Structure 1
């Protein structure tokens, strides 16, 4: 995102709203690349999110500009969240002089809504704010502005309230990071019922007017990775941006081992910035923008692929089509038993530790929806969307017939799962702890029938249909 510095930069309004998909790596191979087509303009792109069969890419622009794609390659159908020339009234008090150009949005699905975070500021000032708007559907939006999430008041050492980014941790919690130059970067947990912050902001990196901004955090295995940009942006072919990464064993830091991830210039790509990560089919797709040296420095969307080698991300663009890496796409799911057609749920919509997991007719409640979260190791946590507690093998048992319940997530093997594809598009859900699979007791087709773990038999009461809930 554009940053207020002591050196005048070109006004952001002159920068076209462009979007990029990028993959993380310590070196960039330019032999092959995913060739994005259509409306590929983007600056400070959001994490790519999907509603139904449509991907959405939000980016800097009037009204919170976005474009869409059905395949991550061909982009078009532009739109805006707010009608151009209008914005929520609270912005006028928070940021006097705001003119409708929203910076660096980010998007995430939480429960029954999609949330889009956005920055409001004026060029060269740290008097800024971040707001959030939500809708039950992106394909058929009904936007509700939730108000201001965090602000800065113009102080020289404040964390500047721009460049929001959100991600879901292995335990189902969502964290919000933001910041730029001035006081550096901060992070806080999000209240998933309204999109606001659930705790005070913790400073995690930078400060003292260091040239750092646009944070994005992800987790892989035991490490949290903080991506950020250094240098001055928004100068087209003269952009100084490069993307770096540091890591920590805590989301709150300290983050150490800073190293370069995307250099300032590779081939026709200049000044890459603003990482977002889409975890799809076991692959990590990274979205960023870059200035195209072959197109007068226009800012565009780029997609590359990220892997992790020896505990650090590596980036490649050596692929020409979206592919599967042999895993499950992160997201919100319901699970339907093949034999009964009933859904896995937390019984009676309980939010208590130890609440039983059963099957029941699908009613659409959050107690019947589950976040599937990729841990980057071939294992997944499964977090109930109502309680935010983990699917858990009772009492860490390896016995056949052990009960399945929910419990506060603690990351042990009794709360980690693998998905094994079986015929007909179904999966077995296998405990990493025991090697047993989820089983509807006695092949019952009744509501409230218990779910337990049992050795795989190939029976239909051990087969589940995963349905994305958009």
Structure 2
């Protein structure tokens, strides 16, 4: 595929009143991606260190990289090279190396990349998973099949995996297409495989539906999906809709269109992925470029919520901060002691103390930071998958901080306020800050909540892991 710049500016405005209206409203042009923009069914964009990675459909699983989300460069090689795991030959006879619609998530100290193997128009399909500890210096290990479909006309077709992490730290995979519709199942974060059964959530009876993606904002789960038909370039009838539910397993209702089939040169958008970056929501999709012979390219849009529903726009011209923190894996280091926020003795038990300890890279010193879309975040320990929690729902200064199963209480929701490059973590329940008791610099010193003083024992460096 060739790569042409995205369109700049607004369409020609023909009347002076309309021109004045746009000038007064501060209208802006679409974000202009540069470099190599080829993409079809893009995975959720993910970051490793200072580099973003965009995986997409292609032989061997193709990918590109960027340091700013704008300029993209081809990766040095594909994930599988010219071969593929041997189990695929039995699962999908006739597979020829063209992997579909990958998606990726960071968990358990690795990046897990899920991928589809199938043949066009068939429900004899499988989703596999491969992992690596680093995307910048990858060493891929294939873990085999995650879920299969066997050719039945009413089966959930095992293609188009999409992963997301809920507020409680649990991970879910949605997938599916024509035939039996869309399904979702929880993922075991130690193995990368299914933890429980697959739940049918939408579609079926050969409806034109595929490429589900679930994200959460506040109290609602949002199920994005493709409608129409793909893979026809300028003739693609794809468009994107969304429905919502108060439960990850549905029912999802109120389906509405969020990206129509065509807007200017953007034709047949498909395959939503959500990147929560600096408090903003960015959505990646592909589109067929009507100004470039219908070639498929990467598109990045901004998403906001209003009245309980998302909307997408191309009317922004740069990647900026929305005044928040990016979702991801972090360590927190106390400014006064240079020691890390940790779960005592790497315990996985409810009630285990949160303390400070010299950073070693252990999982009990790493935390999933998960935006709730409300200005508050979950802090879920990577080792135990339990939440930072104010002990016994106390609002008193000096109350202990421990870990507990996430239940969504105000004592498990935290604001993260940037104070000159250091963060103050404040409980929604009490308005009090995470505090190293008595300014201790010792290992095992207890962490409590205390009145906000902005002391160095309440200031934490956040380091992306």
TM-score band, normalised by shorter chain: over 0.9
SS in 2 for 1:352: coil
Which structure 1 residue ranges, 4+ long, deviate > 4 Å from structure 2? 15-18
Distance 1:80 1:232 in 2: 30
2:156 and 2:77 map into 1 onto residues whose CA distance is 28
2:458 is the alignment partner of 1:462: yes
| Residue 273 of structure 2 corresponds to residue 301 of structure 1 | no
Q: Distance in 2 between matches of 1:16 and 1:112?
A: 36
- From 400, 403, 412, the equivalent of 1:403 is 400
Shift of 1:91: 0.2
Match of 2:199 in 1: 202
1:73 corresponds to 2:70: yes
Out of 153, 162, 170, which is 1:165 matched to? 162
Instruction: Quote the Cα distance in structure 2 between the aligned partners of 1:386 and 1:218.
Output: 23
TM alignment of 1:313-392, pairs within 5 A: 313-392=310-389
Preserved CA contact (<8 Å) 1:416 1:431: yes
The answer to whether the Cα contact below 8 Å between 2:354 and 2:401 also exists between their aligned partners in 1 is: yes
Deviation at 1:55, TM superposition (A): 0.4
Q: Answer yes or no: is the 8 Å Cα contact 2:3–2:35 preserved in 1.
A: no
Task: Report what 2:412 is aligned to.
Answer: 415
Report Cα offsets for 1:42-94 as digits up to 9, x if no partner.
Answer: 00000000001110000000000000001000000324444433000000000
| Deviation of 1:123 (Å) | 1.3
Q: Distance in 2 between matches of 1:237 and 1:82?
A: 29
Q: Which has the higher contact order (CA 8 A, sep 6+)?
A: 1
Match of 2:246 in 1: 249
Cα deviations by residue, 1:84-113 (Å, 9 ceiling, x for unpaired): 330000000000010000000001100210
Q: CA deviation at 1:318?
A: 1.2
Aligned residue runs from structure 1 range 427-446, under 5 A: 427-446=423-442
Is the Cα–Cα contact under 8 Å of residues 64 and 80 in structure 1 kept in the other structure? no
Instruction: Measure the CA separation in 1 of the matches of 2:32 and 2:278.
Output: 20
CA distance in 2, matches of 1:170, 1:228: 22
State the match for 1:34 in structure 2.
31
Per the TM alignment, residue 382 of structure 1 is displaced from its structure 2 partner at its CA by 0.4
**How far does the alpha carbon of each residue in 1:11-34 deviate from its partner, in whole angstroms, 9 at most, with x for none?**
xxxx8999x9xxxxxxxx995111
Distance 1:30 1:361 in 2: 50
**Equivalent residue number for residue 84 of structure 1:** 81
Conservation of the 8 A alpha-carbon contact between 1:16 and 1:61: no
3-state SS, counterpart of residue 411 of structure 2: helix
- 8 Å Cα contact 1:279-1:285 kept in structure 2: yes
Deviates more, 1:141-150 or 1:84-93: 84-93
When residues 184 and 16 of structure 1 are mapped into structure 2, their CA distance, relative to the original with a 3 A threshold, is: farther
Please give the alpha-carbon distance, in whole angstroms, between the structure 1 residues aligned to 2:3 and 2:255. 29
Structure 1 distance, partners of 2:356, 2:347, is 14
State yes or no: 1:235 paired with 2:235: no
* Structure-to-structure mapping, 1:6-17, within 5 angstroms: none
Identify unmatched segments of 5+ residues in structure 1. 1-14, 21-28
1:392-435 CA-to-partner distances (Å, cap 9, x unmatched) read 00000000000000000000100000011112x10100000000
How far apart are residue 141 of structure 1 and its match? Answer: 0.2
Contact 1:337/1:462 (<8 A) preserved = yes
User: Distance between the aligned counterparts of 2:142 and 2:3, measured in 1?
Assistant: 22
Contact 2:38 2:297 (C-alpha < 8 Å) held by counterparts: yes
SS of residue paired to 1:42: coil
Q: How many residues align?
A: 445
Q: TM-score, normalised by structure 2?
A: 0.94
* Cα distance in structure 1, aligned partners of 2:75 and 2:397: 53
Q: Counterpart of 1:3?
A: none
1:245-282 deviations in Å (ceiling 9; x for gaps): 00000000000000000000001000000000000000
The DSSP-based 3-state class of the residue aligned with 1:446 is coil
Calculate the TM-score normalised by the size of structure 1: 0.93
Whether the 8 Å contact between 1:440 and 1:462 is mirrored in structure 2 is: yes
- Rounded to whole Å, the distance in 1 between the matches of 2:211 and 2:28 is 28
Which residue in the other structure is 2:109 paired with? Answer: 112
Q: Which residue number corresponds to residue 12 of structure 2?
A: none
Q: 2:127 aligns with which of 116, 130, 135?
A: 130
Give the secondary structure class of the aligned counterpart of 1:348: helix
Shift in Å at residue 317 of structure 1?
Answer: 1.2
Is the partner of 2:75 in helix, strand or coil? Answer: strand
1:150 equivalent in structure 2? 147
